[in-house]
Amino acid sequence: MTSKIGVIDFGGQYAHLIASRIRRLGALAEIADPETLTPAEARKLYAGLILSGGPSSVYEAEAPASDPGLFAAGIPVLGICYGHQLMMHQLGGEVKSANTREFGPAVLHVEKAAGILTGETGKRASVWMSHGDEVVRLPEGFESIGKTDDCRFAAVLNSERRLYGIQFHPEVTHTERGDAYLQNFIKICNLENTYRLEDFLSQARIRLKEEIGDRSVFFLLSGGVDSTVAFTMLTDILPPDRLYGLFIDTGFMRKDEGLAVERALQSHKIRLNVEDASPIFHERLRGVVDPEKKRKIIGDLFIEVQASRVIKLNLDPDKWILGQGTIYPDTIESGGTKKSHLIKTHHNRVPAIQKMIDEGKVIEPIKDLYKDEVRQVGTLLGLPDELVFRHPFPGPGLAIRCLCSDILESTGTISSPDAFNMILNKHGVTGEIFPLRSVGVQGDQRTYAHPIAIYSEKNGSGVSRETLLEIARALPNLNRTVNRVLFLVAGKRPTLLRKSSLTLDRVNRLREADHIVSSFLFEKQIYDVIWQFPVVLVPLSTREDDGDALILRPVVSADAMTVSPYPMTDGHLNELAGRLLDVPGIESVFFDLTTKPPGTIEWE
């Protein structure tokens, strides 16, 4: 009997997350190519198939598709989002552009507790949507088993053929009963309790030894959880003289970051080398505004510093390969699968590194894992909790949390659509679209759009949290010119987007604000309930020569592929904002209300 599930990748941001979630639920899953998998191979290799989401419409000329014969292969098939639409389309149903696009939470009404909804009798649960098209007519033999207010066929099945389709994403943690739905599919495939994460670790050690061979590894550590866990994995299989770890201080690290990482690793008897490369990083990034250029410059500089150290140590470049702690979200957001869209280029995926990867000169021990899996592996390796469960921090550091601008523009230059104003007026608030932009993801595609700020007479007070979140859900779904919603907590209302760059003063301003936030979280004992807390400096001010606004972006997640804003209490939020306004140059404090999708965790 086959003992794994094949996940057919149609280029969705969540394709590999599906496989990861299945593994965590106790069954082995692997990615399959829709262009090459035949029905005969599917029967031989897999106990079931899952068709992933994707950024395309099934009617597009170049839309990805798998062999329709897979539905007659005699094994269970589950279609998710685009995969659901493709199944319906190929089997004779109809798919159209949805009247109401859905990005974020919706409520699933279970109509029939069958198939992957077995055991859900009478239940209503929050599910995560990310789609612009929807199924409007089912193929023969299918019936509806679940719907949302805006999606008639949110869950369907053909019980005789064991074919299942759902419009929402069960693999993300923000689908309330997602694990239960996927566990039902695992049961249908007869694969319950057939895989453990310990199996990954033992298999990874064998794979890494084979990939490395008789070569040695020069490993770049960013100071984050991912690179630390990946480096520790290599210390288990390589002798000290064949593994060299280098922590590069870019000048964009958090306060005392390098020292904290060095001490943590030393306590685990792992030797780390540190190089202060901050002067060259600041020099190369001087005057750079575009976020993609920032990331590429930083990625190239990591390689340049590494190459310089190789020469200094007189290491043979033919015998030493590069190691890095890339995880799967870094790859997928960089457009790293065949049909996925670029969201933002990770510093581990700039062209210079991609070329080395193509040449077989890079080793990435955890490239197929998600953050929660990485943390579990770190625990299995014996790393201390204070290191394994630290908040994620991007390799480029504060450089991508300090937004820049090459224009001077009034904040009132972009008019809000009438549909926006109707919603804002309904709730007694005003709004203003800012002329700066940030990266987002909607329907598995990148957006580079504007934030809209919400104001009330009492700043952040006077409007309920539920109302603010309702507004934040509604506005990006109405118009793609906006992918984030903020509200002003405290301080002045900005009037200008000013010209600005990555000056030392601005970076230090952000570093101090970030330190205040981190200290506050520990003081209030809420650090462990927050997944990540980016603190973003933006050049929104009341004057041309100086001053910034600060964006607070605390989020709740398990895998970074979907997030919700962490519900800070008004008391905590107002107290924190008061401390931040004491930092010279910070004029206002905003709170980012945006889920992912439509906004990514980081702004750049």
Strands (E), 472-530: 482-491, 496-497
Annotated active-site residue 171? The verdict is: yes
- Residue of 84, 89, 131, 169 marked catalytic: 169
User: CA-CA-CA-CA torsion for 371, 374, 378, 384, nearest 10 degrees?
Assistant: 0
DSSP one-letter string for 164-212:
EEESS-TTSTTSTTHHHHHHHHHHHTT-TT---HHHHHHHHHHHHHHHH
The one-letter code for the residue type at 11 is: G
Q: What is the DSSP letter of 112?
A: -
Annotated active-site residue 404? The verdict is: no
Annotated active-site residue 359? The verdict is: no
Q: Provide the CA 130 distance to its chain's centre, in angstroms.
A: 14
Contact 324, 354 (CB under 8 A): no
Task: Identify which of 29, 76, 27 has the alpha carbon closest to the alpha carbon of residue 49.
Answer: 76
Q: Provide the CA 37 distance to its chain's centre, in angstroms.
A: 28
- Residue of 171, 364, 602, 604 marked catalytic: 171
The number of CA neighbours under 13 Å toward the Cβ of 244 is 19
SS3 41: helix
Q: How far is CA 492 from CA 335, 424, 550, in A?
A: 39, 20, 11
Q: Which helix (H) or strand (E) holds 247?
A: strand 243-249
547 backbone φψ class: left, alpha, beta (φ>0; ψ -120 to 50)? left
- Kindly list the catalytic residues: 81, 169, 171
